[in-house]
Every structure is written in structure tokens, then in C-alpha cells.
């Protein structure tokens, strides 16, 4: 039995992973530099929708899971996971600052024989050419003294059908032995673990998965705009096309893809492609279309109101996805910014988010010139909305 597992990052990826490891009887320490998040977890309050308070408290009571905001870990540790965010910087380039900080912390405690697994999304070649040198330099160990692996996270918040246990898990190691050690470890709590031939294959597979989704979401948004102009329902078109039993997969239009994966991962692939002289034009065009959707709906609002200056607008839902509070890369936030730049007075309602950027969710009333349906959570009751202009970003 392993003595200790450490998970750097206790968000949508790291916390479910840490709890899953603890639930099979392995002692786990979760580390996160967000003091407020650590405080909530210590008090049995889950910071994410995928983990209930009852599940968290049950594992905390077992004494197999603890959490800390300190970047040090016990000498008994045998496995370390890195699950920290790798967002885009303001320049649009990958930001590896949090990953670098975590790697340095891991390196300071690294000992011979330990297994280090990176789950943070990265460009192909990052584990080999960025993570490994920092670990060897910080730890003063040689690469053959420890085991390094990469395993891309596959987290879809609130997906009732596919979770950590039953979603196939990709793993790859710097060496065959490292890959096999990672595969054996994951197999203790994941049903299907797939060993990739090398690190770069696993890194690229993650980026391909979400580039596929971005391209298809952007495509259906273009078709939706066409159908709107033509005067037909894009959702009825999708329904008709989905009757084909092969070669078609349904995607649905909206304000644009947000979250920590779909708008971000394709940029990682695109940047890596530029580095080797093979630009991914389709991905770049899809990203442009995705980023243009907030502007499109601002123009729709302008058509409905004739002017946005001093118009009172209520936006329903500012998170990137239904029934979650996550606002990372939310296209709703961008739409609100554009509306305000054009002179509109914009309020928003989203009780799951509650407060964001020193603003707070307001009650739903009809005292507005326009209500924009952005991210509709299940708790929202729209039945009373009559005799008011409504803009539905789902093209409904």
C-alpha cells in the first residue's frame, strides 16, 4: 500500500482526483495556494459542483484526506499529481506560470523512486522539455532517478453519465516503466486505463479532443447565423440531420464555448503547430468564430432596441455552462463588457455565481428594456416573462 499521495491543485480536476484516491484507502494530501478554497474544503464545504459536501465530509472523516495551502509535502510521499490551471495569458499565449511554480515545489521534495504525474493541459513536448528539466534542476536528481508521466484530465462538470471512474484514462511515461507505473496506479480507481506510446501522443490527444469540439461548435454557430438569415430554425435543422445513423454528431449553437478546455486547448495546439511550421488554419478560424459570437449577439440586441445607449438590459446566467458556477473564459462576460462599451446599463442574474468582479446577482424582474437569455440554469423560472423583449442566445 502506498504511504502518501500528493495532489497539487484542488479545483475541478484535483479535488475529485484526490477524493477518488482516498476512497480506495490511500492517504492523500491536497495542496492549493488559494487559502479560501483550502479553508472551505477543511470545513467540509465543496468548492465545485462535481463533489458534494457529504462526499467531501465522508472522506475527511476517514482521515485519509487532508488539505493544505503550503507548498511542502511529506517525505513519505510516493506519488505526486500536478493538476494546476494552465490558462491563456492576456497575450493569448499559454501561461505556464502556475505549472512552473508547482513543478518547483514538487522538485524541492522529490526523492528517488517517486512517481510524478502531470494532469495539467500543456502543449506537446512540455512534459519532456519543460517539466523534466525543472524537476532535475530543482531536485538535483537525474531523470532516471524518478518516474515522470503525463495523463490528460477529462473532466466534464455535472456530466451524469461519465465521471472519473468510467471515463477511459490516457497515460504516457517518459520511459516505458514510468508509463506502466502510472497505468497501474490509476487502475486502482479508474476502470479503463490506456497506455499511449509516448508523452507527446497523450499531450496531443487532449488538444485534439477539444479542438474537435471547438471546430464543430463554431461550425454550427455559422450555420445558425445562416439559418437565422434564411428564416428557418437551426435546431430543427440539427434534429433533421441527426436522424442519420452514421457520420453525424449533433452540436448546438450559442453564445460561444467557454470553460477551461474548449476555448483554451486548441490555442495550445495552434501555438505548437506554428512552432514546427505547420499552422492550423481551421483551428484558428474556428477560434475566431467562437470569439466573435458575443459581438454577434450585441448586434442582435442593437437591432431589437435600435440603440443601446442608456438601455437597461438584464443578462440571465454568466457562467460558461448550465448549472455550474465556473466563469472561466465565459463568453457571457465578454458580451456584457461589449454591451457596456456601447452605452448599455447591464445587470446580471446568476445565483450560482453570486458575485463576480465586485458585482452581485440581481433578482429577475421585468423592469428592463431587454432580457438576454445567456446561460439558463435549472432553477430559473421564465414562465412569467411576457410583454418584454427577449434575446435567446441559443437561437431558440
The reply to whether 204 falls in a domain is no
User: Mean of the per-residue pLDDT values for the chain?
Assistant: 95
With cut-offs at 50, 70 and 90, classify the pLDDT of residue 93: confident
How many beta carbons lie within 10 A of that of residue 225, not counting itself? Answer: 18
The reply to whether 222 falls in a domain is yes
Counting the structural domains of the chain, the total is 2
Q: Is the pLDDT of residue 88 over 90?
A: no
Which phi and psi angles does 312 have, rounded to 5°? Answer: -90, 120
CA distances from 330 to 255, 319, 322, 374 (A): 9, 6, 11, 10
What mean pLDDT do residues 193-211 have? 97
The reply to whether 203 falls in a domain is no
Place of cell 454550427: 220
Minimum mean pLDDT among 180-194, 292-306, 381-395: which range? Answer: 381-395
So which residues are the catalytic ones?
Answer: 261
Residues 389, 370 contacting (CB under 8 angstroms): yes
Q: Is the pLDDT of residue 89 over 90?
A: no
What mean pLDDT do residues 127-155 have? 97
How many beta carbons lie within 10 A of that of residue 97, not counting itself? Answer: 13
d(CA 112, CA 142): 9
Same domain, 221 and 120: no
The reply to whether 202 falls in a domain is no
How many beta carbons lie within 10 A of that of residue 39, not counting itself? Answer: 13
Q: Is the pLDDT of residue 18 over 90?
A: yes
The reply to whether 256 falls in a domain is yes
Same domain, 60 and 111: yes
Same domain, 224 and 303: yes
Same domain, 361 and 310: yes
Determine the structural domain holding residue 68 and report its residue range. Answer: 4-197
What mean pLDDT do residues 270-296 have? 94
Same domain, 79 and 166: yes
Most confident of 77-91, 183-197, 253-267, 372-386: 183-197
Q: Is the pLDDT of residue 97 over 50?
A: yes
Q: Could you tell me how many residues make up the chain?
A: 396
What mean pLDDT do residues 87-104 have? 91
pTM for this prediction: 0.92
Adjacency order of strands within the sheet including 370-373: 345-349, 312-316, 370-373, 390-392
Query: What CATH number does the domain containing 231 carry?
Result: 3.40.50.720
Q: Look at residues 142, 175, 197 and tell me which one is the last residue of a structural domain.
A: 197
Same domain, 94 and 73: yes
Over residues 31-84, the pLDDT tens digits come to: 999 999 999 999 999 999 999 999 999 999 999 999 999 999 999 999 999 999
First to last CA, the chain: 54
Over residues 181-196, the pLDDT tens digits come to: 999 999 999 999 999 9
Same domain, 368 and 250: yes
Q: Concatenated DSSP letters for 140-184?
A: ---GGGSEEEE------TT-SS--TTTS-EEEEESSHHHHHHHHH
Same domain, 106 and 249: no
Cell for 283? 483551428
**What H or E segment, with its residue span, contains residue 372?**
strand 370-373
What mean pLDDT do residues 363-384 have? 94
Q: Look at residues 150, 168, 197 and tell me which one is the last residue of a structural domain.
A: 197
d(CA 131, CA 322): 35
d(CA 179, CA 321): 34
Q: Is the pLDDT of residue 2 over 80?
A: no
CA distances from 81 to 149, 182, 267 (A): 10, 11, 24
Same domain, 255 and 298: yes
Q: Is the pLDDT of residue 3 over 80?
A: no
Same domain, 265 and 381: yes
Same domain, 162 and 31: yes
State residue 1's pLDDT score: 45
What mean pLDDT do residues 316-331 have? 95
Q: Look at residues 133, 163, 197 and tell me which one is the last residue of a structural domain.
A: 197
The DSSP secondary-structure symbol of 131 reads I
Taking alpha carbons only, the member of 66, 58, 67 closest to residue 34 is: 67
What mean pLDDT do residues 214-229 have? 97
Q: Is the pLDDT of residue 242 over 90?
A: yes
Residues 142, 136 contacting (CB under 8 angstroms): yes
Adjacency order of strands within the sheet including 147-150: 65-68, 28-31, 4-8, 77-82, 115-118, 147-150, 169-173, 193-195
Same domain, 34 and 172: yes
**What H or E segment, with its residue span, contains residue 99?**
helix 97-109
Amino acid at each position: 500500500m502506498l504511504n502518501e499521495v500528493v495532489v497539487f491543485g484542488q479545483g475541478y480536476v484535483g479535488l475529485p482526483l484526490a477524493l477518488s484516491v482516498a476512497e480506495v484507502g490511500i492517504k492523500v494530501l491536497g495542496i492549493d495556494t488559494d487559502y479560501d478554497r483550502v479553508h472551505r474544503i477543511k470545513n467540509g464545504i465543496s468548492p465545485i459542483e462535481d463533489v458534494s459536501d457529504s462526499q467531501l465530509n465522508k472522506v475527511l472523516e476517514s482521515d485519509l484526506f487532508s488539505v493544505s495551502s503550503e507548498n511542502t509535502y511529506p517525505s513519505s510521499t510516493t506519488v505526486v499529481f500536478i493538476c494546476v490551471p494552465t490558462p491563456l495569458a492576456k497575450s493569448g499565449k499559454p501561461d505556464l506560470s502556475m505549472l512552473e511554480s508547482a513543478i518547483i515545489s514538487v522538485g524541492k521534495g522529490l526523492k528517488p523512486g517517486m512517481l510524478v504525474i502531470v494532469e495539467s493541459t500543456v502543449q506537446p513536448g512540455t512534459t519532456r522539455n519543460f517539466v523534466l528539466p525543472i524537476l532535475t534542476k530543482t531536485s538535483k536528481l537525474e531523470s532516471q532517478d524518478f518516474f515522470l508521466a503525463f495523463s490528460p484530465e477529462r473532466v466534464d462538470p455535472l456530466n451524469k453519465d461519465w465521471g472519473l471512474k468510467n471515463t477511459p484514462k490516457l497515460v504516457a511515461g517518459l520511459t516505458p516503466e514510468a508509463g506502466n507505473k502510472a497505468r497501474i496506479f490509476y487502475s486502482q480507481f479508474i476502470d479503463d486505463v490506456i497506455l499511449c506510446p509516448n508523452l507527446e501522443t497523450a499531450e496531443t490527444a487532449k488538444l485534439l479532443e477539444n479542438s474537435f469540439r471547438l471546430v464543430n461548435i463554431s461550425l454550427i454557430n455559422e450555420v445558425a447565423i445562416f439559418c437565422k438569415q434564411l428564416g428557418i430554425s437551426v435546431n430543427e435543422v440539427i434534429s433533421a440531420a441527426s436522424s442519420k445513423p452514421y457520420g453525424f454528431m449533433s452540436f448546438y449553437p450559442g453564445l460561444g464555448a467557454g470553460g477551461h478546455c474548449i476555448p483554451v486547448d486548441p490555442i495550445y495546439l495552434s501555438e505548437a503547430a506554428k512552432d514546427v511550421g505547420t499552422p492550423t488554419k481551421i483551428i484558428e478560424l474556428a477560434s475566431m468564430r467562437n470569439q466573435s459570437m458575443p459581438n454577434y449577439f450585441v448586434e442582435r440586441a442593437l437591432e431589437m432596441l435600435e440603440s443601446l445607449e442608456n438601455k437597461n438590459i438584464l443578462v440571465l446566467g454568466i457562467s460558461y455552462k448550465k448549472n455550474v458556477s465556473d466563469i472561466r473564459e465565459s463568453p457571457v462576460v465578454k458580451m456584457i463588457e461589449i454591451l457596456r462599451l456601447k452605452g448599455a446599463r447591464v445587470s446580471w442574474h446568476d445565483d450560482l455565481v453570486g458575485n463576480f468582479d465586485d458585482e452581485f446577482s440581481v433578482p429577475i424582474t421585468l423592469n428592463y428594456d431587454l432580457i438576454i437569455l445567456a446561460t439558463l440554469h435549472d432553477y430559473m423560472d421564465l414562465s412569467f416573462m411576457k410583454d418584454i423583449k427577449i434575446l435567446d442566445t441559443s437561437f431558440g
